[in-house]
Amino acid sequence: MTNGTSQGLFVVVAIIIFGIFIAISYLLFRNTLKPSLSTIFTDSLEQSNCSLSGECSINISSTREDEHYLYAKIREANLERNETEIWIQAEKLENNGLRIVKSSITDSNYNSGTPDMVGSLSFPDTINGKPITHIGNKNGDYPFRLAKLDGHLRLPNKLQYVGYDSFLNCIFEGELKLPSTLTYIDNRAFRDSRFIKSIEFPTDLEYVGTDSFMYSKFSGNLIINHSLKEIGNRAFYSSEFEKVINNSKDLMIQSQSIRLEDNTYYTMQ
């Protein structure tokens, strides 16, 4: 082995050992590291995950918080596109997740959104490192019901639940990618949106509510996974699916739940 080869091998081994040392140090002392240093380690790990999956998680910091809620700006204003700022109030959940319960165009007067909210919306995945797992609920929190968002929509990548009327009057367009963690889409969640092309159900999705995608025009094949238990009436009332592939043995479906491209509605055989 030549001197040059030996030196090169030594450098490679040294880099590997240093990397292992850094990783072990982070795991052992991450709770006592200064926030800035901890953030550097976290960002590096996220970048690694990014390169493997092809997608990056988006984390933002809250502007303020109290015992029960976080408050954060999730969209900057864009005067050229007539887009306002968008702020959200997020409830802290017991499982360390967050539920978005209200929204506003300023850091005040949080409610169910306003008609001034137009354009596209791209949610962060985490706020202060806590994943957004729920949007809205069944108990009167409809975070974007009054908004008129009419561009593209990107949902949080750890989302599990989209609540009743959460985006009722929004008119989103383009394709919609459902997060792999999603299990429940409540009634009228995206009723007035105009999504197109195909839609892929997450493996663990259990419920698609009444009128949830009433005016969207999905097409292609709709594959129903074994976990899906119910599709509510008029859920895909305006869609144009070529074919439905049903892998669920326990599916409950209404007579006008899924519209096909020949203008008929899918029925269980």
Q: What are 130-167's pLDDT values in tens digits?
A: 999 999 998 889 999 999 999 999 999 999 999 999 99
pLDDT at 257 over 90: yes
Phi-psi group of 220: left, alpha or beta (phi > 0 → left; psi -120 to 50 → alpha; rest → beta): left
Does 145 fall in a domain?
A: no
Least confident span in 44-48, 98-102, 168-172, 193-197? 44-48
Per-residue pLDDT, 157: 97
Q: What is the pLDDT of residue 266?
A: 96
- How many domains, in total, are found in the chain? 1
Q: Please compute the mean of the pLDDT values over residues 189-217 and round it to a whole number.
A: 97
Asked whether residue 25 is domain-assigned, the answer is: yes
The confidence band for 20, taking pLDDT boundaries of 50, 70 and 90, is confident
Residue-number span of the structural domain to which 49 is assigned:
1-56
- Tell me if 41 is assigned to some domain: yes
- For the stretch 107-129, pLDDT in tens is 999 999 999 999 999 999 999 99
| Average pLDDT of the segment spanning 27-46 | 48
Q: pLDDT band at 52, cuts 50/70/90? A: low
Provide mean pLDDT across the span 263-269.
89
Per the domain annotation, does 32 fall within a domain?
yes
> Considering Cα of 208, then 214, then 215, then 217, what sign does the dihedral take?
positive
Return the pLDDT at 25.
62
Between CA 259 and CA 219 the distance in angstroms is 10
Domain contains 48: yes
Mean pLDDT value of segment 29-33: 50
Q: Which has the higher per-residue pLDDT, 50 or 172?
A: 172
Q: How far apart are CA 110 and CA 100, in angstroms?
A: 11
Residue with the bigger pLDDT between 219 and 40: it is: 219
Is 108 domain-assigned? Answer: no
User: What is the per-residue pLDDT for 37?
Assistant: 45
Q: Is residue 21 part of a domain?
A: yes
Residue 20 lies in a domain: yes
Radius of gyration of the chain (CA): 23
